[in-house]
């Protein structure tokens, strides 16, 4: 999720850079020099506004999801299990990279991952039962 948020923000910044990079030169008669530059600026600005609206809602939604997942992971008592889940789901790392960061083998990572998910399932099931 964090990578998607970063990607959305990068897209907005890229389009903003394009729009700012297109310069306008006013002519004495009030027009814009450079032929189609005025149209390009207008189109770039419109695209930027559309992108910001589109991605702002997604960023807001994903940020809320990230907060929920982060809080759920915080509730796991074992810090190694927390770390594996964060590296896998929040940072999007591959198992090999997680094993390197944790200084353990992949099998240990899988065990910690599975135990952490089991903890989350128990927590969710308990919360859902309490809501009924």
In whole angstroms, give the CA distance from residue 22 to residue 35. 12
Q: What is the pLDDT along the chain (132 residues), one digit of tens a residue?
A: 667 777 777 777 777 666 665 555 555 666 655 555 556 666 767 777 777 788 888 888 888 888 888 888 998 999 999 999 999 988 889 999 999 999 999 999 999 999 999 998 887 777 655 433
| Whole-angstrom distance, CA of residue 83 vs CA of residue 36 | 53
Number of neighbours of residue 45 by Cβ within 10 angstroms: 15
pTM of the model: 0.60
């Amino acid at each position: 999720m964090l990578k998607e948020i970063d990607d959305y923000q990068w897209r907005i910044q890229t389009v903003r850079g394009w729009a700012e990079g297109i310069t306008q030169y006013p002519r004495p008669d009030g027009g814009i020099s450079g032929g189609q530059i005025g149209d390009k600026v207008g189109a770039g600005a419109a695209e930027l506004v559309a992108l910001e609206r589109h991605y702002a809602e997604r960023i807001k939604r994903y940020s809320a999801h990230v907060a929920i997942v982060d809080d759920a992971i915080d509730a796991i008592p074992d810090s190694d299990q927390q770390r594996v889940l964060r590296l896998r789901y929040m940072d999007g790392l591959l198992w090999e990279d997680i094993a390197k960061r944790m200084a353990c083998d992949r099998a240990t990572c899988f065990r910690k991952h599975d135990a952490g998910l089991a903890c989350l399932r128990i927590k969710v099931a308990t919360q859902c039962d309490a809501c009924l």
